[in-house]
Amino acid sequence: MKTITKINVVNRDLDDLGHVNNSVYLNYLETAREHWYKEAAGLSFKDMMEMNLGTVVIKLEILFKKEAVLGDRLEVTTSPIKIGNTSFEFHQLIINQHGEVVADASVLNVMIDLTLRKSVPVISHIARNLNH
């Protein structure tokens, strides 16, 4: 299942060059993944914590294609693309209001037991939405 998260660029997102700072894109992507967990998997981060589980980003690749500036209306699409035993990967695309790709990212996550701080199998809530 693919989700779309809408984000408006605000002043605090900008750096001295007048565009969205590269570090802010990580927050946009995180917000969109949190939305995906709620919409597709039916779990909030709080729900997962109550199950003593969490997800950890272990690899993130992002290609910045176009700058985003104050007032831009962005859409972040989040699509699951593959699953392993304890890991799963998302493709995330940030598109501006003109339909232009702003950033293209892939994010590899690992499911962990919060007490043991070790990887565990991906839970069914998440796995059912990913390609095997």
Please tell me whether residue 93 adopts helix, strand or coil conformation. strand
Give yes or no for a contact between 61 and 103, defined as CB atoms under 8 angstroms apart: no
Contact 72, 55 (CB under 8 A): no
pTM higher than 0.85: yes
Rg (CA), the chain: 15
pLDDT in tens, the chain (132 residues): 899 999 999 999 999 999 999 999 999 999 999 999 999 999 998 999 999 999 999 999 999 999 999 999 999 999 999 999 999 999 999 999 999 999 999 999 999 999 999 999 999 999 998 754
Q: Selecting from 3.10.129.10, 3.20.20.70, 1.10.510.10, 2.60.40.10, what CATH number does the domain 3-127 have?
A: 3.10.129.10
